[in-house]
Amino acid sequence: MARASGVSRGTVSRALNGDPYVSTAARAAVQRAVVETGYVVNRNARSLVTQRTGTVVMVLCEPQEKLFEDPSFNLLMRVATRRLATKDVALVMMVAGDDGDRERVVRYLRGGHADGVLLLSTHAGDPLVGALESLALPAVACGAVLGREGVIPYAAADDREGARQMTRYLVEQGRRKIATITGPLDTPGGLNRLEGFCDVLGRKATKKLIAQGDYTRHGGYAAMLELLKRAPDLDGVFVGSDLMAAGALAALREQGRRVPEDVAVGGFDDSAVAASTHPLLTTVRQPLERVAQETVRMLLELIDGGERPESVVLPTELVIRESA
C-alpha cells in the first residue's frame, strides 16, 4: 500500500485518518492507491494499537420472546444505529436473557470487542450490571437501571409524570373506577408508571385495581380478564404499554365491553401498535428518538474519556385518539 502510493507507511496512515499534516499531493496519491488496490484497513491491527474497536454493543437484558415483540426496541435500535454511524461506529446487538447468554456477553466484552455498551430493559438486580461495572467498560442505559441509578447514567422518559398525565385525563373524562395494568415491577417503566397512577388516584388505587403484565400483548390480555373478574364495574384502565393495551382491548371486546363507552383505555409509548388498534389508542407519547439520541451521546462522551454524564429525563406527551 505504501509502495502503491509511493509514500511511506506513516504518510498513508496519516492520510487515511485525516491528519492535517499531509500534502495535497500525498493525499491524492493515497486516495488513488486506495481505489486501485481496493484497500481496506485491518481493524484488528488498528484496534491493537489504538485500543479502540469502533463498535458498540446493545445488550438486551430480557428473555428474547418478550423483547422482540415490542416495537419500541426497533425504534431505539434504529435511531442508535444511525447516530453511531455518523461517528463511524458500528452497533451490534446481543441478547442476555439467561445466565448462559449473560456469560457470553461478558466474555465478548472482556475480549475487547467493543468500546462501550448500551443497556436495554434491565431488570432490578440483573447480574450483568455488576459484571459490567467491574469490567469498567463505558455503559449507558435506556431507562434507569433500578438500584444503580447513580452508577449507570441513563436517558429515559418521565414515566411517572406520563402516568400522571394519563390518569388525570381519565379522571377528567369522568371515569370513576380506574384500574391499571403494569409492566414488571422490577423495571423502571413498570414501577414508575404505577407510582404515577397512584399519585393521582391516592387511596382509590386499591390492590384490586392493579394487575401486573409483562409488556406482551398476551400479558395485557390476561391481566385485563383478571381485572374484569375482580372489578366488573370498572370504567377505565391505564395500561403500562401499548402492546399490552392492544391485548387488553381484545379482552374487553371478547367480554362485550365497548371502548370507550363502557371502559376507557389509555396506553403508554405511542408506538406503532397504538395507531393500528380498534379503536385507535389514546396513549402517552414517549420521546424514544430523543432517548436513543441522548444515550448515544452520553456513551460516546464516556468512551472519549469524559466524566460520567448527567442522566436525562425527558418529558412525555398525552396523545388523545379514540379509546379514551
Partner DNA sequence: TTGAAAGCGCTAACAA
Partner DNA sequence: TTGTTAGCGCTTTCAA
- Return the residues of window 66-85 that contact DNA according to CB under 7 A: none
* The three three-digit cell numbers of residue 118, written as one number: 448500551
Closer CB to DNA, 14 or 83, in the complex: 14
Q: How far is the CB of 8 from DNA (least distance, A)?
A: 3
Query: How many CB atoms sit inside 10 A of residue 276's CB?
Result: 11
State the binding partner of 11 from its own copies, DNA, none, CB within 5 to 8 A by kind: DNA
Which helix H or strand E contains 78, and what residues bound it? helix 71-86
What is the chain's Cα-based Rg?
A: 24
Answer for the pair 57, 115: CB distance below 8 angstroms, yes or no: no
Beta bridge partners of 120: 60, 142
Task: Indicate whether 25 belongs to the interface with its own copies (CB under 8 A).
Answer: no
* The three three-digit cell numbers of residue 148, written as one number: 444503580
Torsion of CA 27, 28, 31, 32, to 10 degrees: -150
Task: Indicate whether 104 belongs to the interface with its own copies (CB under 8 A).
Answer: yes
Task: Indicate whether 71 belongs to the interface with its own copies (CB under 8 A).
Answer: yes
| φ, ψ (nearest 5 deg) of residue 64 | -60, -35
* Alpha carbon distance 141, 145 (integer Å): 7
Task: Indicate whether 257 belongs to the interface with DNA (CB under 7 A).
Answer: no
Q: How far is the CB of 151 from DNA (least distance, A)?
A: 27
| Among the listed residues 3, 23, 98, 204, the single contact to DNA using CB under 7 A | 23
- In the DSSP assignment, the letter for residue 176 is -
Please tell me the count of residues contacting its own copies according to CB under 8 A: 46
| Among the listed residues 3, 10, 99, 254, the single contact to DNA using CB under 7 A | 10
| Among the listed residues 3, 32, 37, 48, the single contact to DNA using CB under 7 A | 48
Q: How far is the CB of 271 from its own copies (least distance, A)?
A: 10
Q: Where are the alpha helices (DSSP H) in 38-124?
A: 43-50, 64-69, 71-86, 99-110
State the binding partner of 107 from its own copies, DNA, none, CB within 5 to 8 A by kind: its own copies
State the binding partner of 93 from its own copies, DNA, none, CB within 5 to 8 A by kind: its own copies
* Residues engaged in binding DNA (CB under 7 A): 1, 7-14, 16-17, 20-23, 25-26, 39-42, 45-46, 48-50
